[in-house]
Structure 1
Amino acid sequence: MIKFKWYYDKDAEQDWLQKMSLEGWAFKKFFLGFYTFEPCDPGEYNYQIDLLDKWDGDKADYASFMEDTGVEVVGQWFRWVFLRKKAADGPFEMYTDVQSKIMQYSKIKRFFTVFLAIEIICFLVELMAAFESGEVLFGAFTVLLGIIAIAMLKIVWKCQWKIEQLKREEI
């Protein structure tokens, strides 16, 4: 089965993959918002999504390391890595302490802040082109870029909110 969804929120995406597993669908691969699933026993897998600092290393080494811990690398999209573990093997959580969760959300926040800055620059350039030319097409692209920028701003704010919430927990 193939489903289309577009996520900017790692937690929501992870929860959705977990829900699909509980319904008997194992995540198989991802490409541009298209998720491919195959049948599995309901609840057979637990999923986690990780954002790597960079992807300079050998993918085989990373996958081998994860396999040694009982975790399967299901897929990778740029720096996002989709991981799963058999539910029968116990709970699966990549970041268990408050400090590591803060570091993970900070990393995600930085990642989206860079793209937010790029989107804002593109939005402003497109907005100037729309005003100067009066073309409807430029106006439509301006609106689209604005929507994308707002979505990225939302995830940056959400990460900041989660970081602040975790810091309060830590005290």
Structure 2
Amino acid sequence: MGNTKTVFKYFTIVQQEQEERFLSKMHAKGWKFENVNLLGFYHFSRCTPEEVSYKLDYNQEGLKNKNDYFQMFSDCGWEHITDFVGYSYFRKSGKADEEDIFNDAESKFDLQKRVYTGRVMPLLIIYFCILFPQLLRTSFGVSTTSIKMDNIFANIFTVLNVIYLVMFSLFIFQWHKHEKNVHSDSKAYLAKYIVLYSLIILGFVSTGLIYYHSHKSTYEIKDTDGVYTVDADTLNKSLSKTYELKKGDVIDFNIKMDKGFLHIDISPEDKKSIFFADYKNSKHDNFTIEEDGTYNFKISGRHLKSKIDVKIK
């Protein structure tokens, strides 16, 4: 077996303690931590299995004065290993639950404040200035590309929004866990967490409502006297109508658009489309059939308010 090993592992900014335990367990198995990269690959070298405590510190001020910063830890028996995205990695012989850089509640809470300032604040700025506005735009706006791409982007930003909210929830929970050992008797402390947890709940509820309303459809279908009519107050889905047609038949459709995006697709059964078009304005259009067969006429809408009349001539 080789003397080096690479392990893929992903930890979020709220999983510092889990990361520390992971590195200690690897050392106990005979693999000493060397470094980690942005892709989540942890690099180890073979060593004698032993109990070693790994700890992470996030201290941007300390890194500005590296010599003094690392010497302070060295004087306490901690070996500096590497630095990664603002975190400094240290280890020291001894059981993981007995050796710690932060020996009191106040110092542990100070670490959380440094992480909040250096890592969480930029994420909050990204969330409120980019991610949430993009969620609203892609969920309720209409682009000039296609319904499919609009839906893809709306779903992507919905998922990203949920991921960020989960991450913020975990960080607030971790912050709460450490601060309650310092300021638990403060009324301001209690009020702050009532507000923070309420905001997180509001974020999840808002995301759910945005998703629901951006996918909701209200429409009426009539199929009388040879005319297939879709009268949509809001259409955010696809509707299909199957026809048995002969060569020379004309599919005639009249579109009265109020708002939104409409896509019409005509395809023979189990074959590729022979006609497709996008509409953002009222229009009268038609398509002539060139071969006998079964044809599928599909209407797809995004925030569509329109009336479409389809008939065969």
More strand by share: 2
Q: Find out whether 1:36 has 2:43 as its counterpart.
A: yes
- Two-structure CA RMSD over aligned residues (Å): 2.7
Residues 20-45 of structure 1: per-residue CA shift (max 9 Å, x gap): 11222111101112111112222253
Q: Find out whether 1:7 has 2:37 as its counterpart.
A: no
Where do 5+ consecutive residues of structure 1 fail to align? none
Q: Find out whether 1:72 has 2:79 as its counterpart.
A: yes
Displacement, 1:111?
3.9
Displacement, 1:112?
4.5
Length-normalised TM-score, structure 1:
0.80
- Structure 1 CA distance for aligned equivalents of residues 118 and 37 of structure 2: 19
Number of the residue aligned with 1:94: 101
Letter in 2 for 1:85: K
Residues 94-141 of structure 1: per-residue CA shift (max 9 Å, x gap): 111222122222333444441341242222132134232252442244
Letter in 2 for 1:54: E
Q: Find out whether 1:158 has 2:173 as its counterpart.
A: yes
Could you say which structure has the greater relative contact order, defined with CA pairs below 8 angstroms and 6 or more residues apart?
A: 1
Where do 5+ consecutive residues of structure 2 fail to align? 186-313
Q: Which has the larger radius of gyration?
A: 2
- Structure 2 CA distance for aligned equivalents of residues 61 and 168 of structure 1: 31
- Structure 2 CA distance for aligned equivalents of residues 112 and 154 of structure 1: 15
More helix by share: 1
- Structure 1 CA distance for aligned equivalents of residues 157 and 62 of structure 2: 32
Length-normalised TM-score, structure 2:
0.47
Number of the residue aligned with 1:125: 133
- Structure 2 CA distance for aligned equivalents of residues 147 and 39 of structure 1: 40
Q: Find out whether 1:106 has 2:107 as its counterpart.
A: no
Residues 20-74 of structure 1: per-residue CA shift (max 9 Å, x gap): 1122211110111211111222225321011114366143443344334322211
- Structure 1 CA distance for aligned equivalents of residues 47 and 184 of structure 2: 37
Evaluate the alpha carbon distance shift between residue 148 and residue 115 of structure 1 in structure 2; reply closer, same or farther with a 3 A threshold: farther
Give 2:30's match in structure 1, choosing from 15, 24, 27.
24
- Structure 1 CA distance for aligned equivalents of residues 179 and 90 of structure 2: 26
Letter in 2 for 1:98: A
